[in-house]
Amino acid sequence: MLEILALIICFLVALIATPYIKKLAFRIGATDAPNGRKVHQEAMARIGGLAIYFAFLVGLVILQPESSYLLPMLIAGTIIILTGFMDDVKELSPKVKLLGQLAAAVVVIAGGVRIDFINLPFETQMQLGWLSIPLTLLWIIGITNAINLIDGLDGLAAGVSSIVLVTIASLAALQGNIFIVGMALILLGSTLGFLWHNFHPAKIFMGDTGSLFLGFMIAVISLLGFKNVTLFSLVVPVMVLAVPISDTFYAIVRRLVNNKPLSAPDKSHMHHCLLRIGYSHRQTVLLIYAMSALFGLAAVAFTLSTLWVALLVLTTVIIATELLAERIGLVNEEFRPVGKFLDRFNGTKRT
């Protein structure tokens, strides 16, 4: 199968290219110095995403996929790579970074990547009309930055992205969507080749070059891959990406509850919380990998299930996510509405 061959070659290209990218990073000053919010103790090269991008391009040459979406995706991906690279080298302002993301999103939207409708139960559809473009824009920008936000530990963003890509490729294969299978697999191979050098203790970081590119490409191919899922089409990519989405969602809630600006940085993301309650660096990464894999399995079960089973899976995922957030203090130690409700319920029952 050509897609598997492309995956292997992309893995090898990224594996071989990453040490050269590391040398380039130190030569041009694209390094990440330690500070109060970082967990590393020495300067690290941070444009490792270039290796993922180059390997991905090699994969495209091998597969030569035929789709009207390919050229817009390639142009937009290059815009994202340039935005991330410039930020890794010169530290762009948040507004300039957002402008680059908006430009890339507009390119793919103009190329036809849109959420035109949402499938609902009982063979019904909700046509979005004029809401199609802003909703698509919100999804692409949101997922791009969600992957960027979880890039806080060695191998975390690359590993979670790899698990997400395995899930996307599997679901696309079940639907017979060869284009999405091919795109997911070459991106997977490229990411795994980089992850070899990025897993703890990391020798190089992907930087915004990699996290923005991975987030953007995952956002686009997840839309293209799941828009025709029979039940609750938009729920499937949300479930697949539940780890980065929930981390971003609770970061917003945390800032609102604590009266802090939404753009304020902190050390209370999921990986920070797990480190704080006693897990090691490696244990934290592996635990979040396991969470991502469970969400991926839930997405597969959701897709293949009947309506009522799918609703049960969705409800279980939502409650489990909330309980986890409360358990590790993802908002703060006092914010545990579900836990307090269960405490009152159990107390009432005992009396």
**How far is it, in rounded angstroms, from Cα 251 to Cα 344?**
27
Tokens found for residue 141:
């920008």
* Peptide linkage before 261 cis (omega within 30 of 0): no
Beta carbons of 325 and 336 less than 8 angstroms apart: no
Tell whether 148 is in a known binding site: yes
44: left (phi over 0), alpha (psi -120 to 50) or beta: beta
Is 35 annotated in a binding site? The answer is no
Give residue for tokens 């969470």: 291
Pairing of strands 117-120, 31-32: unpaired
Element (H, E) at 93: none
Are the C-beta atoms of residues 72 and 112 closer than 8 Å to each other? yes
Structural contact between residues 124 and 171, judged by C-beta atoms closer than 8 angstroms: no
Are 118 and 125 within 8 A, CB to CB?
Answer: yes
Integer-rounded Cα radius of gyration of the chain: 20
Q: Look at residues 25, 11, 93, 26 and name the one whose alpha carbon lies nearest to residue 56.
A: 11
- Count of CB atoms situated within 10 Å of the CB of 187: 29
Indicate the annotated binding residues.
148, 208
Indicate the annotated binding residues for Mg(2+).
148, 208
